[in-house]
Amino acid sequence: MNIVLAGTSSAVGKTTIATGIMGALSKERNVQAFKVGPDFIDPSYHSLATGNISRNLDSFFMNDYQINHCFKRGLDISNSKIGIIEGVRGLYEGISPTGDVGNTASIAKSLNSPVVLIIDSRSLVKSAAAVVLGFENLDPDVNIQGVILNKVKGKKHYLKTKKAIESLTNTKVIGGIPRNEDIEVLQRHLGLVPALEKETIASNINKWIEVVEEYVDLDALLEIMKEYSSDSNKSIKENINSIPDSDEFKKPNSNELWKVGNKKNVKIGVARDEVFSFYYQECFDALKDNGAKIIDFSPYKDEEIPDVDGLYIGGGYPELFTKDLEENSSMRKSIYDFYNDKRPIYGECGGLIYLSKSIDGRSMCNVIPYDSQMNKHVQGLSYTITEANEDNIISDKGDVFRGHEFHYTSIATDNNAKFALDVKRGNGITGSKDGILDKNVMASYIHVHACSNPNFAFNFTRYISEN
C-alpha cells in the first residue's frame, strides 16, 4: 500500500503533517518513507519518525523503471508493505511550467499512487472546493482521493470547509489541523534544520504525531491506501513511458538502476555526522552492489579517518562548524595524508568546501588548494546537467548526468584549476565548470544520485580497487 501526501503550494505544512502521519502509523506498523525531489533534510525527519531510512524519488534523476524499482527496493529493504511519500512544493510544480519532470504528480502517476492533498485552509471555505476541483481537473490521471485541511480556525470553520469540499467535489476530507505555532519547524539558509543536528527534534516529532492522531482520520487514510494503491509490478509494466514530457528534461529510458560489475571488496569511509549528512541512500546501495563496505566516520568528532581504501565526503553545513572543524587538526591532517598517499577522495558540495584550503579564513583540509567563503546570497540552486570532459573517479569521458546544487558558498579557483565537468545546466564552481580534479581527488558542488549517473558507484569502486 502507498500514498502521496502532496501540497497545493510550498508552504502548507507538508513536512510536519507527513512526518506526523509516518510516526503515528509507525507505532503499530512498519512504514517506509519517501520524499519527492532532491531534498536531504525532510528525509532526516522521516527517518527519525519511522526508524527506517527515508529515500528520495525524483523524475529528473530517475525514469519510470528506476522510480518503480527504487520504491519497491526501499520497501523490500525495510521489509515494509506501507510506503508514504511526501511531495515537493505544490503537486504540479516541476522543472518546467507545463511538464511533469521533477514534480510530485509524476511520482504519483508512475507508481499509480492515490494522492491526499494538503491545503492551507486559512480564510477558505467554498473556495477550498474550487482548489480541489482545479487540482483534480488539471490532470485526470492524478488520482486525488483525499484532503487534509491545515491551519483551520476552529471546529466550525473545519466543518463548513469539509462540507463544501465533500459536497462539491465528492472528495473525502480526512482531517483538519488547527493553527498552531508550536508545530512549526525551524528554518535556516538551506531549508529545514537537519534532524541529525537537533537533539530536541525527537520531541518535536512527538508533538506532530500527537496532533495528527487527534485531527487526522488515520483509518480513512489507510482505507484509501488499501483501496486505490496499485500493485508495483503492474505499475512497472504499464507505465514505462507514463511521464508525459516532451521537453529537453525528459530522462531517457533505461531498464537498469545503475551499473554493477566491480566485485572486488573495498572499504569506503563516509563522513557522516552533525556536519555532513546530505546523501542519497541509493548511492550507498549502488556502492554496496559494487563490493563496497561503508564505514562511517565523523570529521567533527573523530581524531582521524578509519582504515579505508577511499573517502566519500558528502554535503552538509561545514560553513556553520568552521571553528570545530579547524580545531580538529588531527582529522584534517589524516585526510591530507590520505590524499598525499594518492588514495581516492570524492567530495560533494560541503565536502568540496571541507577539502578546500580554508573557509572564511579558517583552515580546512587543504587537499584542494583554494580558499572558499560563505556569501549572503545563494550561489547555486538548481537541477544540474553536466558532461564529463575526461575520465574521473565517478564518470567516463562523455558521460552526461544529472544532479542538484544548493549552496551559499563559493570557491576562488585560478587559471591552474583543472575541471572534470562541463556544466550544461546550473552554476557549478565557475558558471560553466565543476568537478575540481587534483591527482586522486574529484570534488564538486553537484549532488549526484546513483540513478542519475549509473556509472557513479561502478567507477568509484573500480578506481579505488585500482589505486
- As annotated, the active-site residues are 349
User: What are the distances in angstroms from CA 32 to CA 85, 135, 253, 299?
Assistant: 9, 26, 26, 30
**How far is the C-alpha of 132 from the C-alpha of 135, rounded, in Å?**
5
Q: Which residues pair with 144 in a beta bridge?
A: 115
Cell, residue 298: 565523523
Task: Note whether 15 and 88 are within 8 A (CB).
Answer: no
The pairs formed by 156-159 with CB atoms below 8 angstroms and a separation of 24 or more are: 157/121, 157/125, 158/121
Backbone angles phi, psi at 352, to 5 degrees: -60, -45
**How far is the C-alpha of 116 from the C-alpha of 108, rounded, in Å?**
11
CA atoms within 13 A on the CB side of 367: 33
**How far is the C-alpha of 19 from the C-alpha of 433, rounded, in Å?**
38
Comparing CA positions, the residue from 125, 91, 127 lying closest to residue 107 is 91
Cell, residue 206: 512527538
Cell, residue 295: 564505514
What three-state secondary structure class fits 383?
Answer: strand
**How far is the C-alpha of 328 from the C-alpha of 316, rounded, in Å?**
17
The three-point CA angle 279-391-38 to 5° equals 25
**How far is the C-alpha of 64 from the C-alpha of 430, rounded, in Å?**
33
The secondary structure of 215-278, three-state, reads HECHHHHHHHHHHHCCCHHHHHHHCCCCCCCCCCCCCCCCCCCCCCCCCCCEEEEEECCCCEEE
**How far is the C-alpha of 36 from the C-alpha of 110, rounded, in Å?**
12
N-to-C CA span, the chain: 45
